[in-house]
Structure 1
Amino acid sequence: MLDLVMRVPGLPPLGGDVFATASSLMPGGGFNVMAAAARAGARVRYAGGHGDGAFGDLARAALAAEGVEVAFAASVGVDTGVSVAMVDDSGERTFVTAVGAESAVDPVALAGELVTGADIVYVSGYSLMTEAKRDVLLDWLALLPGSAGPGGPLVLADPGPLAAAIAPAAWARLIERVDVLSCNAREARLLSGRAEPAAGCAVLAERARPGSAVLVRDGAAGCWLSRHGHQELIPGLAVTAVDTNGAGDAHCGVLAAELLRGAELPAAAVRANAAAALAVTRPGPATAPTRAEVDELLAGQSRR
């Protein structure tokens, strides 16, 4: 969808107003994850909805610029949605979202997508917020090879800011097929009921299906990784944050790209942490770095 990003000194009070110091309209949402993965060297295919209006045109142009393939034709008579992202002086962001064509998916078109064990399927929690798309997606995931055994694609899921609003039955169905669950500390708290990211990661790992992994992104601290009964902190990198919008997306996209290269989860998480660190030093949602930029940052860290 499109992000209307407004930089503000602080959020307005109820009934009040505040002047933005800067604003921009650019693709965001799932685009951020796809752009991050593409910049990290992955081949990326968008199997979702997009509208036939001006916002849809902007989204398609941005996808093409990143080299992302678009699987389906535009929805007729509906445009791509918009999210207003207000970013305050601390770099924190607050969203108001109006959904559009991306909130639905054609079940016939999705069923025709060829997915193999060499692929990673990324699922956003936002896709579970509308009934029509939620049911189509979950039915499709349940039929993927590997749902009842080995041989299928790796499924990476991020519940997103609305994690607590996902219907429990839908969440249970998703977790049955997820191989790697990645969420931030706030989302882990909402889903697990535990205040500390490490404790939340442990609880979510207990609830996940056997053999899967859980990542909890904890800002500058890095991310907690729990798998096979073992938990560890993958340290982050200290940077000055300008805008946290899109940091989690950069983390997920680069994590997916590294896993596609054959990296083990801890090594992929190291590079994902570095990508997220670079992303927060830049204003805007789609701020994921290239693979070369991650290489440079990590090389600099190793020389210290």
Structure 2
Amino acid sequence: MGGVVIAGSINMDLVAISARFPAPGETLMGEGFARYPGGKGANQAIAAARLGAETLMIGAVGQDSFGREMLEVLAAAGADVSRVKEVAGVSTGVALITVAGGENTIIVTAGANGHLRPQDVAALPLEAGDVVAGQFETPLETTAVAFERAKAAGARTLLNTAPATGQEALGLVPLADIVVLNETELAALSGVAVTPETSLGALADATGRLRARVDQAFLVTLGRRGVLGALADGHFHVPAFAVEAVDTTGAGDCFAGALAAGLSAGLELRQAVLRASAAAALSVQRQGAGPSMPDLAALEAFLAERGQVAPAGS
């Protein structure tokens, strides 16, 4: 068994709840407001730690109340925050989120996340069996160094290609053993038009445009359609768990963090995907990103209720 290392963003989420999304130039009266711990890196670290993985968070926060609160939240979830640095003169990252009808729109201000440097990850304590995860909310060159360090140590690398960015982000793909992306991100990075009706085979073919090595796995999260696993020699499909979504914020992060936890525990890829899908299904039934991440007991109960057995190693 290995551990999980998350190199990524730490944000405070400021959430407005509305009956619908406003049109450009329109002002709506909201139905509620909440503040939640968030950031793709922090969310993934919380998800992995709550599922029992030994989790190290690498990131940056400002010297402000949001930063102090985020460190407390991560530590309370069980993540090691000893390598989260505090940056003077900048704010902790903030995400402005509108939730309407179970869907969301998000604007992220990077703040201290933009100050996570390559030297902050160059000497990570890694071993074979560890899983190192990164995303696109911190500098790409820093994630590249973290992945190079992981490969040198024999650890596995997991890239969550969110949020979708320009073509410069493609430079990280060859360094990833496992790439997790949604339909929008697949279209942005591959240049292939993707719709909710695009067949699984066509989606798998689109990932082929991104494949740099035959040993890479691409996991395309498809919402209600489940998850497509695309390998060099074929693909598999894990159907979604049917639940009523309250807030989808952080669902993709929950999937990635739970996937990293499962892989670090020695699970085979398809088993880890099933477990991560169940964790994400649990997360969308609660408001907020960080607070919605389930613990291991909740995950095992959820799987048992649906006739699934949490695979050995979880």
Report if aligned partners of 1:141, 1:177 keep a CA contact under 8 Å in 2. yes
Amino acid at match of 1:134: L
Q: CA deviation at 1:118?
A: 2.2
Map of 1:130 onto structure 2: none
Report if aligned partners of 1:205, 1:213 keep a CA contact under 8 Å in 2. no
Amino acid at match of 2:215: G
Amino acid at match of 1:159: T
Separation in structure 1 between the aligned mates of residue 53 and residue 141 of structure 2, nearest angstrom: 28
Say which of 302, 310, 313 aligns to 1:297.
302
Q: CA deviation at 1:194?
A: 3.6
Map of 2:143 onto structure 1: 137
**Residues 80-124 of structure 1: per-residue CA shift (max 9 Å, x gap):** 0111110102x1100112221112213333222222222111111
Say which of 38, 51, 54 aligns to 1:40.
51
Structure 2: stretches of 5+ with no match in the other structure: 1-10, 309-314
Say which of 166, 177, 184 aligns to 2:175.
177
Separation in structure 2 between the aligned mates of residue 17 and residue 58 of structure 1, nearest angstrom: 31
Q: CA deviation at 1:202?
A: 2.9
Say which of 58, 71, 74 aligns to 1:63.
74
Amino acid at match of 2:122: A
Map of 1:254 onto structure 2: 258
Q: CA deviation at 1:228?
A: 3.6
Separation in structure 1 between the aligned mates of residue 133 and residue 145 of structure 2, nearest angstrom: 15
Query: What do you get for the CA RMSD once the two structures are aligned?
Result: 1.8
Report if aligned partners of 2:147, 2:176 keep a CA contact under 8 Å in 1. no
Report if aligned partners of 1:248, 1:276 keep a CA contact under 8 Å in 2. yes
Amino acid at match of 1:64: A
Separation in structure 1 between the aligned mates of residue 262 and residue 70 of structure 2, nearest angstrom: 25
Q: CA deviation at 1:197?
A: 6.2
How many correspondences in the alignment? Answer: 289
Amino acid at match of 1:93: N
Report if aligned partners of 2:140, 2:172 keep a CA contact under 8 Å in 1. no
Say which of 7, 11, 34 aligns to 2:21.
11
Map of 2:222 onto structure 1: 218
Structure 1: stretches of 5+ with no match in the other structure: 128-132
Q: CA deviation at 1:7?
A: 0.8
TM-score by length of 1: 0.89
Separation in structure 1 between the aligned mates of residue 266 and residue 231 of structure 2, nearest angstrom: 17
Q: Where do residues 268-287 of structure 1 align in structure 2 (5 Å cutoff)?
A: 268-286=272-290, 287=292
| Residue 80 (str. 1) matches residue 92 (str. 2) | yes
Q: CA deviation at 1:191?
A: 2.3
Separation in structure 1 between the aligned mates of residue 12 and residue 150 of structure 2, nearest angstrom: 33
Separation in structure 2 between the aligned mates of residue 279 and residue 4 of structure 1, nearest angstrom: 18
Map of 2:157 onto structure 1: 155
| Residue 113 (str. 1) matches residue 124 (str. 2) | yes
Report if aligned partners of 1:155, 1:177 keep a CA contact under 8 Å in 2. yes
Separation in structure 1 between the aligned mates of residue 243 and residue 136 of structure 2, nearest angstrom: 28
Report if aligned partners of 2:132, 2:150 keep a CA contact under 8 Å in 1. no
Separation in structure 1 between the aligned mates of residue 26 and residue 36 of structure 2, nearest angstrom: 26
Report if aligned partners of 1:201, 1:215 keep a CA contact under 8 Å in 2. no
Q: Where do residues 94-105 of structure 1 align in structure 2 (5 Å cutoff)?
A: 94-105=105-116
Say which of 202, 207, 211 aligns to 2:210.
207
TM-score by length of 2: 0.87
